[in-house]
């Protein structure tokens, strides 16, 4: 049996519960794919996005409705080693990729401030433009369950607000385009286990900053802190991660001070004297 077929089999057999079932759950629960969609699957070269690509191939085979998928790699300025590793992995995994180049690393390396934030913003712009050129109406990113809960705590601890990474959202600057996150219910450890089981090696970030190990971006160090904090809390309560995720779908609006939507601010005081507010409810 060819290597890629063994890898595909591992997704639907060995990791059926941890990966395949949770991938399908995300698709159905959040209505991420609809008939006649054309999805651009964004492959960064890491384990998450390559696994997502393989899951999309399986979904395409077994779906009861028609939709199109294309697999795109944006090269922001990878060195030849990392670029070739992505190409080799695509061949090994039997993923037909289209790679296009950008000058993101060149631009980011010349500015002060937050390089990771600027890089992410520029990546998103290039990807939306590419999706539009390809006639796609959806862009799939490989953010997983742990990315979501870490982002939630980062917003609370450092952004002074409660918000999370949504499973899908409409583009503000590219009308008709929608970003989706089909890996939403898949745990990072399960992705690592899948890669290890199949003896696969992927690139990590591979930007010039991390290659040189000369920059510990503030946001990166904060995310590491949050990741380690969740790991420590999980020793006492194994349900910590699931509880964080569930809390974002279980907000008690009777017990929050305030919030905002579309730049409109709300306070619990707005209707406090008009409603029957008491602690016995």
Q: Cα(186)–Cα(27) distance, rounded to whole angstroms?
A: 12
Dihedral (C-alpha) 154, 158, 163, 169: value to the nearest 10 degrees? -70
pLDDT tens across 89-121, in order? 999 999 999 999 887 776 666 666 666 666 777
pLDDT at 213: 37
Q: What percent of the chain has pLDDT over 70?
A: 87
pLDDT higher than 50, residue 212: no
pLDDT of 214: 36
Give me 113's structure tokens. 């401030």
What is the structure's pLDDT at 79? Answer: 84
Please tell me the distance from the alpha carbon of residue 278 to that of residue 106, in angstroms, as a whole number.
59
pLDDT of residue 113: 62
Q: Read off φ and ψ for residue 40, nearest 5 degrees.
A: -95, 110
State residue 277's pLDDT score: 59
For residue 123, what pLDDT is reported? 80
pLDDT, mean over the chain: 89
What is the pLDDT, as a whole number, of residue 278?
Answer: 62
Whether pLDDT at 219 is above 70:
no
The per-residue pLDDT for range 9-51, each reduced to its tens digit, is 999 999 999 999 999 999 999 999 999 999 999 999 999 999 9
State yes or no: pLDDT of 61 exceeds 80: yes
* Confidence band, pLDDT 50/70/90 cuts, at residue 258: very high
pTM of the model: 0.89
**Contact status, residue 114 vs residue 217, Cβ threshold 8 Å:** yes
- Contact indicator for 41, 73 with CB cutoff of 8 Å: no
Percent of the chain with pLDDT over 90: 74
Cα–Cα separations (whole angstroms), residue 135 to 14, 53, 65, 120, 196: 35, 19, 19, 23, 35
Q: Topology of 3-255 in CATH?
A: Rossmann fold (3.40.50)
Contacts of 109 (CB under 8 A, 6+ apart): 115, 208, 209
The strand pairing partners of 75, in sequence order, are 101
pLDDT at 56 exceeding the cut of 90: yes
Helix axes 240-247, 218-236, angle to 10 degrees: 120
Q: In the structure, what pLDDT confidence band is assigned to residue 75 with cuts at 50, 70 and 90?
A: confident
Average pLDDT over residues 54-70: 96
Virtual CA dihedral for 48, 46, 190, 239, nearest 10 degrees? Answer: -70
């Amino acid at each position: 049996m060819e290597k890629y077929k063994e890898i595909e089999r591992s997704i639907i057999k060995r990791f059926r519960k941890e990966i395949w079932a949770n991938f399908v759950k995300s698709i159905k629960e959040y209505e991420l794919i609809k008939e006649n969609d054309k999805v651009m699957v964004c492959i960064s070269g890491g384990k998450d996005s390559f696994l997502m690509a393989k899951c999309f191939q399986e979904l395409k085979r077994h779906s009861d409705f028609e939709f199109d998928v294309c697999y795109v790699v944006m090269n922001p300025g990878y060195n030849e080693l990392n670029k070739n590793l992505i190409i080799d992995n695509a061949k090994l995994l039997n993923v037909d990729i289209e790679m296009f180049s950008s000058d993101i690393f060149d631009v980011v390396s010349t500015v002060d401030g937050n390089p990771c934030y600027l890089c992410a913003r520029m990546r998103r712009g290039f990807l939306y433009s590419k999706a539009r050129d390809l006639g796609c109406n959806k862009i799939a990113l490989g953010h997983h369950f742990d990315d979501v809960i870490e982002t939630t705590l980062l917003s609370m601890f450092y952004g002074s607000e409660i918000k999370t990474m949504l499973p899908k959202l409409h583009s503000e600057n590219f009308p008709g385009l929608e970003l989706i996150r089909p890996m939403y219910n898949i745990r990072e450890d399960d992705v690592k286990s899948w890669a290890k089981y199949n003896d696969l090696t992927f690139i990590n970030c591979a930007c010039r900053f991390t290659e040189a190990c000369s920059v510990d971006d503030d946001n990166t160090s904060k995310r590491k802190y949050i990741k380690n904090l969740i790991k420590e809390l999980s020793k006492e309560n194994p349900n910590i991660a699931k509880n964080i995720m569930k809390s974002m779908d279980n907000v008690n609006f009777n017990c929050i001070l305030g919030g905002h939507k579309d730049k409109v601010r709300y306070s619990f005081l707005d209707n406090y004297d008009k409603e029957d507010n008491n602690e016995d409810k």
